[in-house]
Chains A and B, each alone.
Chain A
């Protein structure tokens, strides 16, 4: 799912941070294909795929839902994010600062950093399940909220400490290692799916001689539909579609990937995100879900979603290594990036210390299996919280002048806090949270009306704010 891109993890390296990317630094299409394919095949895929099965998804709903949802995600990159990125060629942070002012960007960084802490926690959880295969301590169940054994706490502490220390020393080495691991990891995920499929054929006694037979096996044994497991929400076609579309909402609709596509020669390079979507968010999710469905097929009472044992059963030591590396290489930049976000708020504190503290928070979060076991809902929340700023950027770039208003208002008016953007953000998130807490709209869907709400609010409040409250003198 949402991983951090190299460009996003280096907002302070001085690489065209506060200036448009020059022509000679632009990258070709292939760079984006490789980057997205690698970035979106990560540790959390091993949680998300199984959680679809736990949510009682049917074969048609998961396969077609993922095809449609991922296509919508790619279109969002192509038509919302990339066109602005290739016109302004600025980082998300600088673009936001011009619109919102420095202090609102600080708040945005805080929200971003907190969400990244919990996301990194889920990745540490994934890696720690691999440790459990060797040391055989009790591991969390699907419905567990709190850590359930000393062994689990120690394993998470060990993995989390290691990841945090490496991240604090600098993520560059791990980023290089992640690049090397990427093609290997994609193929291990594919192998998971092929092995799981054979195991299902053998366990069910199905005769498989054609693609039609595979589809029948998928419908009757792998993604059978029906009721979700205890504590899980039933997933339909629409849930899968919206989840696939919005799980990286912060990146496309939320415009985080402005920082990535500012290097693209053309805006249509946004289609490159399709490599990540259909490798990571289609193939890898389906492969991981096959492994979990097989576990349930063998023992319906064994509902624990534990990537380590799942991968070990399918691919032995290579599977375990895949789980550790998948969690590690994605948690590492996530912790590093969360540290950078926090450091922007308290610049006097050293990055080393901030990253260590951030890693410690992520590690403590990882000890609570609730965050990983509820990853589907958490990912939707993560997108929701960062999405309104994407709507603000979209409106500011394309629409606001048509309403007779000033774009890049904070820059033009030398403001450090744009209340119009702040209200659009906070009110949208507040209303959306109310809508799903009150049971009016599920969290997986609420971001769609939320985007329009944020866009309209930004225009309406700006009209009032720019004309009445803080008119510009120039």
Chain B
């Protein structure tokens, strides 16, 4: 579960940044960029909370 949450959260960060890179390359309209970033934000906070809220003890 923890590993899945980690993978999802890292992917959400890719989803967060990729639209702005595509926008810079003129491959994505700004409205789509904004929507995608919002979705990525929600996914990040939900998935990252699952493993970052109570970090594994060393």
Residues of A that sit less than 8 Å from B by CB: 176, 179-181, 183-184, 187-188, 190-191, 194-195, 197-198, 315-319, 321
Enumerate chain B residues within 8 angstroms of A176, measured Cβ to Cβ: 52-53
Judge whether B26 and A198 touch: CB under 8 Å. Answer: yes
| A-B residue pairs, 8 tightest by C-beta | A316-B34, A191-B20, A318-B37, A194-B20, A317-B38, A194-B24, A198-B24, A318-B41
Enumerate chain B residues within 8 angstroms of A181, measured Cβ to Cβ: 45
A315 and B45 in contact (CB under 8 A), knowing A183-B13, A191-B17, A198-B23? no
Distance of A181 Cα from B46 Cα, bound (Å): 11
Interface of B is mostly: helix
Judge whether B38 and A184 touch: CB under 8 Å. Answer: no
**For residue A195, which residue of chain B has the nearest CB?**
B20
A315 and B33 in contact (CB under 8 A), knowing A180-B48, A195-B24, A197-B24? yes
A315 and B53 in contact (CB under 8 A), knowing A187-B13, A187-B16, A190-B17? no
Distance of A138 Cα from B52 Cα, bound (Å): 39
Enumerate chain A residues within 8 angstroms of B38, measured Cβ to Cβ: 316-318, 321
Can you name 14 extra interface pairs (CB under 8 A) apart from A194-B24, A317-B34? A179-B52, A184-B44, A184-B48, A187-B13, A187-B17, A190-B17, A190-B20, A194-B20, A198-B26, A315-B33, A316-B34, A316-B35, A317-B38, A318-B34
Residue B11 is within 8 A (CB to CB) of chain A in the complex? no
Enumerate chain A residues within 8 angstroms of B33, measured Cβ to Cβ: 195, 315-316
Distance of A197 Cα from B24 Cα, bound (Å): 7
Judge whether A191 and B53 touch: CB under 8 Å. Answer: no
Judge whether B53 and A180 touch: CB under 8 Å. Answer: yes
Can you identify 6 A-B contacts, CB atoms within 8 angstroms?
A: A176-B52, A180-B45, A191-B37, A195-B20, A315-B34, A318-B38
Indicate with 1 or 0, residue by residue over B3-40, a CB within 8 angstroms of chain A CB atoms: 00000000001001101110110100011011101101
Judge whether B48 and A315 touch: CB under 8 Å. Answer: no
Q: For the complex formed, measure the closest distance between the CB of A265 and the CB atoms of chain B, giving whole angstroms.
A: 15
Judge whether A180 and B52 touch: CB under 8 Å. Answer: yes
Q: For the complex formed, measure the closest distance between the CB of B23 and the CB atoms of chain A, giving whole angstroms.
A: 5
Enumerate chain B residues within 8 angstroms of A197, measured Cβ to Cβ: 24
A180 and B49 in contact (CB under 8 A), knowing A195-B23, A318-B38? yes
Enumerate chain A residues within 8 angstroms of B26, measured Cβ to Cβ: 198
Q: For the complex formed, measure the closest distance between the CB of B1 and the CB atoms of chain A, giving whole angstroms.
A: 17
Interface of A is mostly: helix
Q: Interface range on chain B: under 10, 10 to 19, 20 to 34, or 35 or more?
A: 20 to 34
**For residue B25, which residue of chain A has the nearest CB?**
A198
Distance of A315 Cα from B49 Cα, bound (Å): 23
> Contact partner of A195 among B13, B30, B49, B52, CB < 8 A?
B30
Distance of A191 Cα from B37 Cα, bound (Å): 9
Distance of A183 Cα from B11 Cα, bound (Å): 13
Enumerate chain A residues within 8 angstroms of B44, measured Cβ to Cβ: 184
Judge whether A184 and B17 touch: CB under 8 Å. Answer: no
Q: Kindly name the residue among B13, B41, B44 whose own CB sees the greatest number of chain A CB atoms within 10 A.
A: B41
Q: For the complex formed, measure the closest distance between the CB of B31 and the CB atoms of chain A, giving whole angstroms.
A: 8
Enumerate chain A residues within 8 angstroms of B31, measured Cβ to Cβ: 316
Enumerate chain B residues within 8 angstroms of A316, measured Cβ to Cβ: 31, 33-35, 37-38
Enumerate chain B residues within 8 angstroms of A198, measured Cβ to Cβ: 23-24, 26
Judge whether B37 and A184 touch: CB under 8 Å. Answer: no
Distance of A318 Cα from B38 Cα, bound (Å): 5
Enumerate chain A residues within 8 angstroms of B34, measured Cβ to Cβ: 315-319
Q: Kindly name the residue among A180, A181, A318 whose own CB sees the greatest number of chain B CB atoms within 10 A.
A: A318
Indicate with 1 or 0, residue by residue over B47-58, a CB within 8 angstroms of chain A CB atoms: 011001100000
Distance of A316 Cα from B32 Cα, bound (Å): 10
A321 and B41 in contact (CB under 8 A), knowing A179-B52, A184-B13, A187-B13? yes
Q: Kindly name the residue among A179, A198, A317 whose own CB sees the greatest number of chain B CB atoms within 10 A.
A: A198
Distance of A266 Cα from B37 Cα, bound (Å): 39
Q: For the complex formed, measure the closest distance between the CB of B41 and the CB atoms of chain A, giving whole angstroms.
A: 5
A315 and B24 in contact (CB under 8 A), knowing A184-B16, A191-B17? no
Q: For the complex formed, measure the closest distance between the CB of A166 and the CB atoms of chain B, giving whole angstroms.
A: 16
Q: Kindly name the residue among A179, A190, A316 whose own CB sees the greatest number of chain B CB atoms within 10 A.
A: A316
Enumerate chain A residues within 8 angstroms of B40, measured Cβ to Cβ: 318
Enumerate chain A residues within 8 angstroms of B35, measured Cβ to Cβ: 316
Enumerate chain A residues within 8 angstroms of B41, measured Cβ to Cβ: 184, 188, 317-318, 321
**For residue A198, which residue of chain B has the nearest CB?**
B24
Q: For the complex formed, measure the closest distance between the CB of A263 and the CB atoms of chain B, giving whole angstroms.
A: 14
Enumerate chain B residues within 8 angstroms of A317, measured Cβ to Cβ: 34, 37-38, 41
